[in-house]
Structure 1
């Protein structure tokens, strides 16, 4: 009895069409009649804008024309500090929602105008001029009737007039050609070139086709020694990382991947560190994480004997002078041939000079 029931909320929930979801948000949409602003989902759900930038954009869009939208003016009405507001304005300017334009007044003074566009993508597509309605074809002018001379009355009989020369027959005027207007052929209008989108989402939509997953690596030959070593490694993994406790089916399924690592001369401690370092919290599916890391972090195969021989062939050679033992003092010295060291050679030369 101490829990208060909100009857208005219960009644509003009853009017929501369709079954109510068991999780997530439930929208109760009431129509606005005054003091509202239309905001597009491209701004409210922008993948690259921070929530502060979206809120500042909605705030600017709701203000009237001529309102101050500088950093200090917005900080006076918002709880965010000037640094966060300045960063949000830079985000909006980078994505085309906000522009600062320098303009010159008739007096010569240069001012900066702040322009906010609620749909920056529409600016990339120029508006096509409205097509004029087709003009009706002019009617063809009727041909001008040729006047027919009226019959002349016979004159009364009288004295015969003097004979007159008959005038030459009048030539009929040539018909004037009539220009009949015809409709001009329609010129096909080329569609506007597709322009680059203002921003490209970094995260593909849920409906985008996903690339097929790479298969788990397999060894060239799953020997009994590799199978036992991989099974012992996976069974002992929970002692070093308790969150990687695997079932028997998971162990049997992951054995070929670990065997492929062992076949490539990877040490067990290196494999354990690569598979268990920095796991997500909480770790719901350890076997899936191990499958992904075994596939994506597979080390390269070690070079074979032929590759090492080729490396040795291309390696520069250095001539090393061997050690010799002096025949007089048994001192070691470097020389291509056996004999005496430098001191013994000098002593022998001094004796030979003194004897001479």
Structure 2
């Protein structure tokens, strides 16, 4: 029986998805897997049995990725599981900013019980005159699962799209509307767009990705939207640009002291993935990732190790090897296992870390010492 620890409120659909080979525990010390959402676990101590952590969501800045890798713990996220939910919120943000909807709602609410309400509404509505999004240009920074969905959706609404992604995958590119233009850098997006929306991972590389120089390149009066993480935008530069009238609105899903309450800021309380459908999708994906890794050794949507997938076990045994500092982990592992007849192999390297999954149907007595090995695991099918 495998034990799964859980943190945060995980959607019941995901918890029910675990088979009867699993039971839940409140202790990390004896768990084989951990499923969580946004719980901050940088200071947590993990037990020696912990094999994997699955984040039911996309951002993993709440997890100590490098420490987990050094301890042989594979971290997964669920890309695409909440992409439709975020897409719909971004569409709402576009319309809120272009039509001044939040300000109009607040102003109208203040007229309650005013005997002259009807007259004031007709006289006062002109101050909230906005613009249509059709015919305008949306700049999309980050064309992953969320950014690509948004790009296609606004194209259908009559907008033009210019996008930038330093790591655009061929698969994503094939699914983009053919009218979408790709820019060579962020500043080009800023110069061309009336609205800019950001969808990049939140990590040290993207901290202050949009700063003074990028904001200075924006069209006068443009709208900046941040649905990645608060720190992806230099908030001092954002507030300064708002105060100087260089940008008209900052729409963000992250409440911070610097921006909350500012007249030009529209803030929602991290609602991007807050739909039942998104929570169910992410929890189901996270459960599948944990079970597949624990039972089959397959790593799909791994964050701190490369992916490796040999499909379900089929009467074979598997050797799962995690390495650090090895340039060619697959070759290294194959050479080390020269006493074993290998039927299939998958894996590779991600930065300094490697993951190699080997399948064999030949019984073996021992596993030789493997250079740079962090963790080595022999996986056999569990009897029902």
User: Which category of TM-score, normalised to the shorter sequence, fits these structures?
Assistant: under 0.3
Question: Which structure carries more strand by proportion?
Answer: 2
Which of structures 1 and 2 has the bigger CA Rg? 1
